[in-house]
Amino acid sequence: MGTAVPLVDELASLLRERIYARRYAPGTWLRQEQLAAELGVSRTPLREALRALEQDGLVRLTPGQGARVVTGDLPTLLAAYELRAVVDGLAARLAAERPAPPSRVRELYAVIARQRAALDPWEPQTYTALNVAFHEDVVHLSGNEFVVAQTPILRMTAQVFAPVALVERDSAVRAVAEHTAIVGAIEAGDGPAAERLARAHIEATISELRARAQVSSNGE
């Protein structure tokens, strides 16, 4: 019984990373029999691991059919980003008000510098990975365990739903400038400004997605 919990956690972590890496693409069915054989584990801990992924919002379990990786249509993605606007804004404010240690602020600027380097030549995969790292770092800097618990939504929007929210270079250029302003507010200890900038950053993406949805709707 003592080894069951770490095994479940290990399986959940492995499956989670495979989903993020798109080894299991959105819409893929994860059959317990096949996974158990592939991973060399029994179905009991695997079932618990899939339930953990369901709690993360990464899969949906259907009785008698198994688990399916979520798909990111535009309405789903918009709903996820609406939550992110709140989470990212709160995280930035708390990070500023703690305040964030200077060494951690330097780390944020270093991530932004690497993002900027990925703009020319344009490397969307590298940029996306660094974008996730930036936002996760800010969330962890909040020091609030309930905010940190929302980190799966970051990777879900940026990695699992990537084909829908395909990042364009112009959007990335804007985002890098906005990231810099957010870190500036965190460094200055200005909580309200950090929250306002972080929320506006996500809301700009929401506006882009809504515009894309409108264009798609008009084209039908």
Which segments of 41-197 are extended strands (E)?
59-62, 66-69
How many of the other CB atoms lie within 10 Å of CB of 12? 21
- 81 and 155: one domain? yes
Domain boundary among 33, 48, 69: 69
How many of the other CB atoms lie within 10 Å of CB of 53? 22
- 58 and 115: one domain? no
For position 135, what pLDDT does the model report? 97
For position 3, what pLDDT does the model report? 42
For position 130, what pLDDT does the model report? 94
- 107 and 208: one domain? yes
For position 214, what pLDDT does the model report? 76
| Residue 25, phi then psi, degrees to nearest 5 | -70, 160
- What span, in angstroms and rounded, lies between the C-alpha atoms of 134 and 132? 5
For position 186, what pLDDT does the model report? 98
Domain boundary among 69, 99, 120: 69
- 92 and 197: one domain? yes
- 210 and 168: one domain? yes
Residue 58 belongs to domain with CATH number: 1.10.10.10
For position 141, what pLDDT does the model report? 97
User: Total domain count for the chain?
Assistant: 2
* Residue 39 near residue 10 (C-beta atoms within 8 A): no
For position 1, what pLDDT does the model report? 40
| Residue 189, phi then psi, degrees to nearest 5 | 75, 20
Supply angle C-alpha 161, 163, 166, rounded to 5. 100
- 49 and 114: one domain? no
- 10 and 25: one domain? yes
Q: Which of 21, 28, 154, 136 is nearest to 84 (CA)?
A: 154
Domain boundary among 18, 41, 69: 69
Q: By residue range, what is the domain housing residue 21?
A: 4-69
* Residue 75 near residue 164 (C-beta atoms within 8 A): no
pLDDT tens-place values along the chain, 220 residues long: 444 447 899 999 999 989 888 889 888 999 989 999 999 999 999 999 999 999 888 899 988 888 999 887 888 888 889 999 999 999 999 999 999 999 999 999 999 999 999 999 999 889 988 999 999 999 999 999 999 999 888 888 887 876 545 678 999 999 999 999 999 999 999 999 999 999 999 999 999 888 877 766 666 5
| C-alpha torsion 142→148→150→153, nearest 10 | 80
- 151 and 78: one domain? yes
For position 204, what pLDDT does the model report? 94
Q: Which of 199, 191, 77 is nearest to 135 (CA)?
A: 199
Q: Compute CA 151 distance to the chain's CA centroid, rounded to the nearest angstrom.
A: 6
- 48 and 121: one domain? no
